[in-house]
Amino acid sequence: MGKDVIIACDFSSAAETLDFLSKFSGRKPFVKIGMELFYAEGPEIVRQIKAMGHKIFLDLKLHDIPNTVKKSMSVLSRLDVDMTNLHAAGTVRMMEAAIEGLTRPDGTRPLLIAVTQLTSTDQESMEKDLLIKEPIADVVMHYAHNAKLAGLDGVVCSPLEAGKVHDTCGAGFLTVTPGVRFAGGDVGDQKRVMTPAEAKKIGSDYIVVGRPITAAEDPVAAYERCVAEFVD
């Protein structure tokens, strides 16, 4: 599985998204479709972007009872996405059910990765709201370990956690890391950031990059810069 740059297409309409992707003539970047675009436009936008030749990470973060997740994953596998995800907090049983649902009759399936603790959750909110008293770094690694046990392919994590995840779960367990910024670039609301070159060094398998590309004056040049730093 090769390293790649995934562009977070955080747009709220098909028109905006297709206009953005039309700038990449000849290039077919791996794109992330999240809840905003999916809820606005439905599965058709996934089919459309897939038909244009892009790989798709469908970021819907499923979390429900195992049976519901299994059936929903089965629907998503028919959309022919390349990667999708769920919350590890749904338990090992839910993750196993997700794999079952996602696996096509021919045995193939999209990559399935887990969200451990959201990066918006900190030690204090985890203790107060969720009554989880362990150190958050241990919770993240425990959830990653559970994802591995259930047969998932990897986790979404901070680039700062990627090395530890590989140490805990093996080099082949994928780390998909958002929070990437160019050196000297605008950090926005991300707190702990890394450059694409640093993410490469620390062993991220995929970087998810939104605004540094989507809000750039020249998005194609910004994408190429990410690829040059992270992949080449």
Angstrom distance (rounded) from CA 152 to CA 101: 13
Q: Are 193 and 179 in contact (CB under 8 A)?
A: yes
> Least distance in Å: CB of 179 to ligand C5P?
6
b or e along 57-87 (b: 16 or more beta carbons within 10 Å of the residue's beta carbon)?
bbbbbbebebeebbebbeebbeeebbbbbbb
> Least distance in Å: CB of 85 to ligand C5P?
9
Total site size for ligand C5P, rule CB under 6 A: 15
Q: Say which residues have a Cβ less than 8 Å from residue 156's Cβ, sequence separation at least 6.
A: 85, 113, 114, 115, 116, 176, 177, 178, 208
**For ligand C5P, which is the closer residue by CB, 66 or 146?**
146
Question: Known catalytic residue: 61?
Answer: yes
> Least distance in Å: CB of 108 to ligand C5P?
26
Interface residues for ligand C5P in 85-114 (CB under 6 A)? none
Inter-CA distances, 228 with 14, 141, 163, 170, 220, Å: 28, 30, 21, 26, 12
Q: Is 34 in the site for ligand C5P (CB under 6 A)?
A: yes
Q: Which residue is nearest to ligand C5P (CB)?
A: 210
Interface residues for ligand C5P in 188-227 (CB under 6 A)? 188, 190, 208-212
Q: Are 232 and 226 in contact (CB under 8 A)?
A: no
Q: Say which residues have a Cβ less than 8 Å from residue 187's Cβ, sequence separation at least 6.
A: 181, 193
**For ligand C5P, which is the closer residue by CB, 172 or 188?**
188
Which one is catalytic: 55, 61, 70, 201?
61
Q: Is 10 in the site for ligand C5P (CB under 6 A)?
A: yes
Q: Among 156, 199, 207, 222, indicate the residue that binds ligand C5P (CB under 6 A).
A: 156
> Least distance in Å: CB of 50 to ligand C5P?
19
Q: Among 101, 154, 159, 178, indicate the residue that binds ligand C5P (CB under 6 A).
A: 178
Angstrom distance (rounded) from CA 232 to CA 222: 15
Q: Among 5, 7, 8, 21, indicate the residue that binds ligand C5P (CB under 6 A).
A: 8
Q: Active-site positions?
A: 61
Q: Please report, as ranges, the residues that interact with ligand C5P according to CB under 6 A.
A: 8, 10, 34, 118-119, 156, 178-179, 188, 190, 208-212
